[in-house]
Amino acid sequence: MYKDLVNIHRNNLKSIQKAITAVNRTHNNSIRNQNKELQYSSLYVLLIMWVAWLETSLDLILWNNICIEEKIRKEVYLCRSLTESWKYLIVYLFRFHYFSNRKRPLNEITLGRTNYFRYLTIIELLEDEIDKTILLRNRLAHGQWKVALNTEKNDINDEATALLNTIGRTDLIINRNIIRNFVINVSNLAHSKKHFEKQYDNRMLRIDETRNKAKSSTLPKWQGEKWIKVK
């Protein structure tokens, strides 16, 4: 059953990737044809799909790496939100690889300046940027495509509503880039400390390059995805 679950999560991930590629094509056509309604509808669908990809990537990492035991998987799945699940896993992986799984505090003294900076940057990406995308996905999945509500659905969620009404193609390109490289960094860390340290800077550089292009309005046309294998 263990191998079956790995294959299930891998196949789910591949199916989501194919769907994203197809909707990307629809989104590009809507821009070319100046179809505003289809443009924003496909944008919202892509946002939902990218968070689905994020969640399924977490599943694959949890089941496809021998350093993650059953009790850790259970703790990750017991977290209250997708953001907290990722954070629990990241903290565990840093302790596993750098402290031989001892529960030492993660700080500049214990990890060293470079690795502590890497840890903080990954957590900040998760909590400051990816969490907002997850928030939007949750609102859209509950049918709140124009005005977002609070958890009790008895009042307007001003932050989420503002995000819904201002997000555009450039924002989604940046968000998908952050999600992809965040996932690859965590996947590399689950695979091995050496692999994580070797690839970390390259992954963060890709995020910075996309942000800089967005600021200067030089983002290229949205082409098909170049998928990178999640381990």
Structure confidence at residue 227 (pLDDT): 47
- Reply yes or no on whether the pLDDT at 108 is more than 70: yes
- pLDDT 10s digits, 115-133: 999 999 999 999 999 999 9
Q: How confident is the model at residue 48 (pLDDT cuts 50, 70, 90)?
A: very high
Listed range (64-68, 148-152, 179-183, 221-225) with the worst mean pLDDT? 221-225
pLDDT averaged over the chain?
Answer: 90
Three-state secondary structure string covering 11-78: HHHHHHHHHHHHHHHHHHHHHHCCCHHHHHHHHHHHHHHHHHHHHHHHHHHHHCCCCCCHHHHHHHHH
- Reply yes or no on whether the pLDDT at 4 is more than 70: yes
State how far the Cα of 58 lies from the Cα of 75, in Å rounded to an integer: 13
Structure confidence at residue 225 (pLDDT): 45
Q: What is the mean pLDDT of residues 33-42?
A: 92
Structure confidence at residue 223 (pLDDT): 44
Q: Which of 224, 143, 228, 221 is nearest to 179 (CA)?
A: 228
State how far the Cα of 122 lies from the Cα of 99, in Å rounded to an integer: 18
Instruction: Give the pair of three-digit tokens for residue 18.
Output: 């194919």
Q: How confident is the model at residue 164 (pLDDT cuts 50, 70, 90)?
A: confident
Structure confidence at residue 165 (pLDDT): 86
- Reply yes or no on whether the pLDDT at 231 is more than 60: no
- pLDDT 10s digits, 186-225: 999 999 999 999 999 999 999 988 888 776 665 544 444 4
End-to-end CA distance of the chain: 18
- Reply yes or no on whether the pLDDT at 169 is more than 90: no
Q: How confident is the model at residue 138 (pLDDT cuts 50, 70, 90)?
A: very high
133: three-class secondary structure by DSSP: helix
Could you state, in order of their start, the residue ranges of all structural domains in the chain?
A: 2-215
Structure confidence at residue 122 (pLDDT): 97
> How many alpha carbons lie under 13 Å from residue 223 in its C-beta half-sphere?
4
Structure confidence at residue 222 (pLDDT): 43
Sign of the C-alpha dihedral computed for residues 186, 103, 124 and 121 taken in this order: negative
Q: What is the mean pLDDT of residues 38-59?
A: 96
Instruction: Give the pair of three-digit tokens for residue 231.
Output: 């381990």
Structure confidence at residue 168 (pLDDT): 86
Q: How many residues does the chain have?
A: 231
Helix (H) or strand (E) segment spanning residue 152: none
- pLDDT 10s digits, 49-104: 999 999 999 999 999 999 999 999 999 999 999 999 999 999 999 999 999 878 88
Distance of alpha carbon 149 from the chain centroid: 23
